[in-house]
Amino acid sequence: MADAMAQRRIDPIALRRAFGTFVTGVTVITTRDCDGNPRGMTANSFTSVSLDPPLLLVCVGKAAASFPAFNETQSFAVNFLHEGQVETSSVFASKAADKFQSVNHDRAHTGAPILTDSLTWFDCTVHNRIEAGDHIILIGQVQAFGTSPSAPLGFCRGRYASVKDPLPAGWMASQDMIIGYLVEAGNRILLRTDGKGSWVLPTARRRKADSQLVLDGGEALTLVPENTFLYSVFDVADSDPGYLVYRAELSRESAEAALPDGHAFFSLDALPYERIATHELRAMLRRYARERQDKRFGIYIDTGDGGRVAMIDGQSQSWTQAASE
């Protein structure tokens, strides 16, 4: 009997390779240890579990250096990585002493570190913790989340995989969206007061504007049409509307004209982060200011001529030209 059992023993290396043929995304799971220090590791064992209540799960290996923190925590975050975050994945898969030094992170609901540049993040309290062989299964109840239109970072057969992922039409139609605009003039961003002592983005009645942006208050701003592009899509909570954010550039005439009541310009290096109304807007503005300074983002825009690629300086070129370079 013992010989028969030995013959049927699963080869763990072959099993790992078989598991690895399943294409997954790449996540960084994060928490804080008992001293409040941020801890994190890469993981691709993620599964959505339930919408009501909102549950997800991740698996944490008992041999991981961060295992004690995850085994004791009452909250954690799951951060999906986008295609430009291979380096971030490598850092969190390493034994680096300070993995968070090279990434931007913030707090949302529970205090677990949120990677603000990630594709999607979920901030969770621990709903259940289950022993499962050489791993524990953490089931988290989602308390807050956010997402963006970037393409995901894939993983298959032990290697990173490219995923072609255009934003599907009607993808955000499941709930109403606030249409916000990052309106730039020179190195200044236009914000409006919310009437409660905080600042928010100007909002519009319709999606992607061309040469005219009609704000919710009825005021019209003239834009440079070829420099408008989708910048960020994120949800706040199931009970609240999410944001669909476009970046736009004011025409010279509008930049020199009087601003609508309740609106003001702020330079990129003097944005009033402490008075931004929500965490999501604050994190998004920080990301935009950094990317604008570093000149490191480029976003695809779908247009009738086959699409355009918006570059960091706000200029754009035809999709055909970009594809040939």
Tell me how far the alpha carbon of residue 200 is from its chain's centroid: 19
Separation of alpha carbons 312 and 287, rounded Å: 13
**Given this model, what pLDDT does residue 150 score?**
73
- pLDDT over 80 at 110, yes or no: yes
pLDDT reported for residue 279: 79
Q: Is the pLDDT of residue 2 over 60?
A: no
Dist CA 261 CA 275 (whole Å): 18
Structural domains in the chain? 9-162 (2.30.110.10), 177-316 (3.90.79.10)
User: Tell me: the pLDDT tens digits for 255-305?
Assistant: 888 888 889 999 999 999 999 888 778 888 888 888 787 766 544 333 445
Q: Where on the phi/psi map is residue 7: left (φ > 0), alpha (ψ -120 to 50), or beta?
A: alpha
Res 58 pLDDT > 70: yes
Span 36-48, average pLDDT: 89
Cross-strand partners of 51: 54
- Give mean pLDDT, residues 297-323: 47
Q: How much is the pLDDT for 30? A: 94
Confidence label for 208 from pLDDT (cuts 50, 70 and 90): low
Per residue in 89-99, pLDDT (tens digit) is: 989 988 887 88
Q: Of all residues in the chain, what percent carry a pLDDT higher than 70?
A: 77
Cβ neighbours for 190, distance < 8 A, ≥ 6 positions apart = 181, 183, 184, 202, 250, 259, 263, 264, 265
CA distances from 45 to 42, 86, 146, 147 (A): 9, 17, 20, 19
Answer yes or no: pTM beyond 0.85: no
What is the reported pLDDT for 174? 45
Strands 120-132 and 75-80: antiparallel
Task: Give residue 323's pLDDT band: very low, low, confident or very high (50, 70, 90).
Answer: very low
